[in-house]
Amino acid sequence: MTGFTKRDFLATPLVAALGVSSAAKAASDGCAPAPAQAAYDLPVAPGRFDARVESLRSYQAPDWYRDAKFGIWAHWGPQAVPRMGDWYARFMYVPGHPDYDAHVRKYGHPSEFGYKDVIKLWKAEKFDPAALMEKYAAAGAKYFVSMGVHHDNFDLWSSAHHRWNATKVGPMRDVVGEWRDEARQRGLRFGVSEHLGASHNWWWPSHQCDQFWPKLGVPYDGADPQYADLYHAAHNEPYLNRGGDWYTKDPRFHQIWYDRIRDLLDSYQPDLLYSDGGIPFGVVGRSLVAHMYNSSIARSGKLEAVYNCKDLGSGEFYKEACVQDVERGVMQGINPLPWQTDTSNGDWFYSDGYKYKTTGEVLTMLADIVSKNGNLLLNVVLYPDGSLPPESEQLLAELALWMQVNGEAIHGTRPWKVFGEGPTEAASGAFKESAAYTAQDIRFTAKGEAVYAITLGEPAWKVAITSLRKDNAHEKRPVRAVRLLGNRRSLAFRQTSAGLEVQLPPTLPTRHASALQITF
151 and 203 Cβ atoms separated by less than 8 Å: yes
Of 344-348, 353-357, 457-461, the poorest mean pLDDT is in 457-461
Phi, psi at residue 314, to the nearest 5°? Answer: -110, 135
Q: What is the C-alpha separation between 367 and 88, in angstroms, rounded?
A: 32
SS3 516: strand
Is it true that 6-32+41-327 and 420-519 share their CATH fold?
no
Query: pLDDT-derived band of residue 435, with 50, 70 and 90 as boundaries?
Result: confident
Q: Give the pLDDT of residue 240.
A: 65
Average model confidence (pLDDT) across the chain: 92
The Cα angle at residue 324 between residues 318 and 325, in degrees rounded to 5: 140
Using one digit for the tens of pLDDT, what is the confidence trace for 494-518?
999 999 999 999 999 999 999 999 9
Using one digit for the tens of pLDDT, what is the confidence trace for 285-308?
999 999 999 999 999 999 999 999
Query: Which tops the pLDDT comparison, 32 or 292?
Result: 292
Average pLDDT over residues 252-266: 98
Q: What is the C-alpha separation between 333 and 223, in angstroms, rounded?
A: 48
- What is the DSSP code string of 278-327? SBTTTHHHHHHHHHHHHHHHHHHSS---EEEE--SSSSB--TTTSEEEEE
Whether 19 has a pLDDT exceeding 90, the answer reads: no
Query: pLDDT-derived band of residue 200, with 50, 70 and 90 as boundaries?
Result: very high
pTM metric for this prediction: 0.93
Using one digit for the tens of pLDDT, what is the confidence trace for 82-126?
999 999 999 999 999 999 999 999 999 999 999 999 999 999 999
Average pLDDT over residues 135-163: 98
DSSP summary character for residue 4: S
The number of C-alpha atoms within 13 Å of 194 and in the hemisphere containing its C-beta is: 25
Average pLDDT over residues 434-463: 95
Spacing of C-alpha 331 from chain mean position: 15
Whether 391 has a pLDDT exceeding 90, the answer reads: yes
Q: Give the pLDDT of residue 472.
A: 94
Domain 6-32+41-327: give its CATH superfamily.
Glycosidases (3.20.20.80)
C-alpha closest to that of 70 among 375, 357, 342: 375
Answer positive or negative: Cα dihedral of 281, 284, 290, 294: negative
Q: Which residues of 97-107 are buried (b: 16+ CB within 10 A; e: fewer)?
A: bbbbebbbeeb
End-to-end CA distance of the chain: 52
291 and 258 Cβ atoms separated by less than 8 Å: no
Letter for the amino acid at 305? A
373 and 334 Cβ atoms separated by less than 8 Å: yes
Q: What is the C-alpha separation between 412 and 61, in angstroms, rounded?
A: 14
Query: pLDDT-derived band of residue 243, with 50, 70 and 90 as boundaries?
Result: low
Q: Give the pLDDT of residue 427.
A: 85
Spacing of C-alpha 447 from chain mean position: 27
The Cα angle at residue 227 between residues 223 and 232, in degrees rounded to 5: 70
Using one digit for the tens of pLDDT, what is the confidence trace for 485-495?
999 999 999 99
Q: Give the pLDDT of residue 212.
A: 86
Whether 358 has a pLDDT exceeding 70, the answer reads: yes
Whether 196 has a pLDDT exceeding 60, the answer reads: yes
Fold that domain 420-519 belongs to in CATH: Immunoglobulin-like (2.60.40)
Strand order in the sheet with 420-421: 420-421, 442-447, 450-455, 514-519, 481-484
Using one digit for the tens of pLDDT, what is the confidence trace for 302-345?
999 999 999 998 999 999 999 999 999 999 999 999 999 999 99
Provide the residue ranges of all domains of the chain, joining segments of one domain with +. 6-32+41-327, 420-519
Of 26-30, 190-194, 274-278, 465-469, the poorest mean pLDDT is in 26-30
